[in-house]
Amino acid sequence: MATYIILSKLGPNAFDTPDGLKNLAKLVRERLAKECPRANWVQSYGCMGSYDVVDIVESEDPQQVEKAVMIIRAFGHSTTETLLATPWEDFLKAL
């Protein structure tokens, strides 16, 4: 199963209050569960720096991850960058 890292930066009009962010996160989470059942969310992190959210996702279906990213962009009012992550030992073996 492949691991993906989704880096998201929330737009300035994504929410007005901290509760607005909680509601937005709930909406996005529900939509992802419904429309991307083969994308398994391993962990999410709130960040300080260039990105606001880092999601770690596993899936055997890259199209599920692509769809998930579009949902995050549309409903989360954010820009994203998606990385395919290879475990370090596997990466070294491939060299």
pLDDT band at 75 (very low <50, low <70, confident <90, very high): confident
**What is the DSSP pairing of strand 2-10 with strand 78-85?**
antiparallel
CA distances from 10 to 63, 72, 77 (A): 23, 10, 6
Enumerate domains of the chain plus CATH numbers.
2-94 (3.30.70.920)
**pLDDT at residue 13, as a whole number:** 87
| Span 48-73, pLDDT tens digits | 999 999 999 999 999 999 999 999 99
